[in-house]
Structure 1
Amino acid sequence: MTAATRTATWTTAVDDAPIAVTTAGDLVAVAGAAGTAWILDLADGTPVGTLTLPGGLLTLEFSPDAAHLALAGPTGYGLWRRSDGRFLNSQTGAWSNAVRWATPDRVALASGRRALVLDTDGALQWSTDPAPSTVTDLAWLREGRRLVSSAYGGVRCHERHTDKPVAEYKYLGSHLAIALNPNGRWICTGNQDASIHIWRTRDGDELTMQGYPDKISRLAFDDTGRWLASDGAPDITVWDFSGKGPAGTSPRSLRAHENVTALAWRPGGSAVLASAGAEGTVAFWRAALGRAGGLLRPANARELPEAVTALAWAGPDRLVVADYEGRVEAWPLPDDLAL
């Protein structure tokens, strides 16, 4: 599909290569690799403001109520407050590439070998003890009461006022990404050794999915917790976690990209996945229509002139995409995917 056939609600440009997009409420934020974040109005893409984190940016995430934005990068992190534009910039010198809000007033950030939990004034609420290596990803369990972090050797679970982990799930290797299903039954990691490792939280029973051509750095459950999508190959794989889980089954394969650069499930549990690739394609999938072990073609695909570097859903009916040259667009859900 050519650029002329795309139906963007709006298009704007930022002066950097975007590496991450986040949305909440009526706002969009786009992270540029060099350290500038652009805050845009979701309705029309109009710039609301910019922030700069010295040393560069790796990720960013709005609080659920869109009242705050947390940013993280190679040398520290920052917190922006919408009400008055205050920006707290903490240059810790520690690598920080994961941000996860537990509640509208509490956020966790990776900071070197530790995870820090802050309030919206930047005050430290608590932190984890040092992991064996740099913390690579974070997630929350039990409605924001338990923090899960990944590093070399597995994942660790922390709660406030505990010096040591309250639970550990070990697997030798470098863990790059975490995905938890919503009810907390499964903890999954994407790994440097081209595998997905899975633990069942109630008893620690574990399973490894191996044989991927490349490392697994993108991993996500849909809102129902049934479908797990991952990169690790030109094909995206989607595992079915219904019933007793994926043991003894084969994944669906979704083929559209030369190299996967982003993936995100549509909110609401409709089993619609959006994915992006270095060749400039954004593809939409109805994962539930495929069969285990089968190859699923896109339900809809669109193209940008440059490599797509980031995407994020803004509610169930709009997708925000960004490409390597700084083009940012908002797209309505394609008609053939409307429910």
Structure 2
Amino acid sequence: MTATAHALEIDTLWETAVDDAPIAVHAAAGLVAVAGADGTCWVLDTTTGDLVATVTLPGGLLAAQLSPSGTHLALAGPFGHAIWRRADNSTHIIKTEAWSSAVCWAGPDKVAVASGRRVLVLDPDCRELWATEPAPSTVTDLAWHREGRRLATTAYNGVRCYERHSARPVAEYPYLGSHLALAIAPTGRWICSGNQDASIHIWRTRDGGDLTMHGYPEKIARLAFDGTGYWLASDGAPDITVWDFSGKGPEGTRPRTLCAHETITALAWRPGGSGILASAGAEGTLALWRATTGRPGAQLKPAHERELDQPVTALAWAGPELLIHADWEGRVQACRLPITLPR
């Protein structure tokens, strides 16, 4: 543990447990959803940790996301998808034979669900608004940009973008191989994919210009832009890499590296533009970083480390002062953090 780690006071606001291994945590509008691998999602109050509801999708869970208003919860798994409605605690389940591994809300009125090789766009009552044509392989990730007017998806050989009610892509960003993760800068300027071949591929949306970041020892399964769109964090190695996308972008530059984990299990930027990143590893370490400091190529040390009994499998910010994390045994903790980390 570093010397700076002792200088940070962290208060545990609440702690609870769920009866499963969590695969995802998502927070919005005073609620936090903790999704278990076996198919149950626990909806908790972010202030108290009290149980609000339990929602089950038969066959297991691969993704869960609350709507921005907290009125609905979308779930996806190996055998279908579902939408839970808070107002009457009802759940609409759609059973399919399609692997469903990603969901993403675009405001309160529509959610995209990866369903096999297609993406279904649904309203809050689980009615289909439109769907994409089949991709070359199973859709692995998706994201909205242009304020929910354009949908980007990843599948084999690249990223495809769709406008409202367009079954065929209106823009394509090719790169040969299997794509696992997708990140779009909040500015809309960059689209990035994390890939099975241990690379990050990057496109400029205005002209399709692209570049590839090679040399990772492992596949890239986690990508995340911070709130400014100037910094991209990724896994792919024991170290987290943080690339600078300001100015002309990262071409010809070196990333900051963040070294604390044996294998990265979760990462999430603090909301806003503070440059604070939370990460977790399979060895049981939870770390906080001032991830945008130092020079290009610098190896950064955590601003704070916490050794836990079990590996953290998922984490999420519920505002800038509350970090929620869940471990392999189902323990869920909400930790209150100061706005400024000590140096």
Is residue 310 of structure 2 the alignment partner of residue 306 of structure 1?
A: yes
Q: Distance in 2 between matches of 1:55 and 1:69?
A: 17
Equivalent position of 2:210 in the other structure: 206
- Of residues 189-198 and 154-163 in structure 1, the stretch that sits farther from structure 2 once superposed is 154-163
Q: Distance in 1 between matches of 2:163 and 2:78?
A: 26
Q: Distance in 2 between matches of 1:338 and 1:167?
A: 45
Equivalent runs, 1:40-51 vs 2, <5 Å: 40-51=44-55
Q: Which residue of 236, 239, 245 maps to 1:235?
A: 239
Equivalent position of 1:26 in the other structure: 30
Equivalent position of 1:76 in the other structure: 80
- Aligned pair count? 337
| Cα shift at 1:105 | 1.2
| Cα shift at 1:6 | 6.1
Q: Which residue of 280, 286, 293 maps to 2:290?
A: 286
Q: Distance in 2 between matches of 1:327 and 1:108?
A: 29
The one-character-per-residue Cα deviations of 1:32-85 (angstroms, maximum 9, x if unpaired) are 000011111111111112111100001100000000000111111110001110
What is the aligned-residue identity percentage? 68
Task: Give the match's secondary structure for 2:292.
Answer: helix
Q: Which residue of 245, 270, 276 maps to 2:274?
A: 270
Mark the CA change 1:155 to 1:199 in structure 2 (over 3 Å): closer, same or farther: same
Equivalent runs, 1:60-139 vs 2, <5 Å: 60-139=64-143
Equivalent position of 2:227 in the other structure: 223
* Native 8 Å contact 1:309 1:322 kept in 2: yes
Q: Distance in 1 between matches of 2:236 and 2:177?
A: 16
Q: Distance in 2 between matches of 1:236 and 1:127?
A: 35
The one-letter code sitting in structure 2 at the alignment partner of 1:301 is: E
Equivalent position of 1:249 in the other structure: 253
Equivalent position of 1:178 in the other structure: 182
Q: Distance in 2 between matches of 1:258 and 1:161?
A: 44
Q: Distance in 1 between matches of 2:324 and 2:342?
A: 17
The one-letter code sitting in structure 2 at the alignment partner of 1:137 is: D
Q: Distance in 2 between matches of 1:120 and 1:336?
A: 38
Q: Distance in 1 between matches of 2:263 and 2:206?
A: 35
Q: Distance in 2 between matches of 1:334 and 1:308?
A: 21
Task: Give the match's secondary structure for 1:22.
Answer: strand
* Native 8 Å contact 2:103 2:111 kept in 1: yes
Q: Distance in 1 between matches of 2:146 and 2:295?
A: 32
| Cα shift at 1:338 | 7.7
The one-letter code sitting in structure 1 at the alignment partner of 2:149 is: R
Which stretches of structure 1, 4 residues or more, deviate above 6 A after TM superposition?
none
Is residue 154 of structure 2 the alignment partner of residue 157 of structure 1?
A: no
- Please give the TM-score of this superposition, normalised by the length of structure 2: 0.96
| Cα shift at 1:336 | 5.2
CA RMSD between the two structures: 1.5
Q: Which residue of 9, 14, 21 maps to 1:10?
A: 14
| Cα shift at 1:304 | 1.5
| Cα shift at 1:160 | 2.1
Q: Relative contact order: is structure 1 or structure 2 higher (C-alpha 8 Å, sep ≥ 6)?
A: 2
Q: Distance in 2 between matches of 1:266 and 1:158?
A: 29
Equivalent position of 1:56 in the other structure: 60
* Native 8 Å contact 2:303 2:342 kept in 1: no
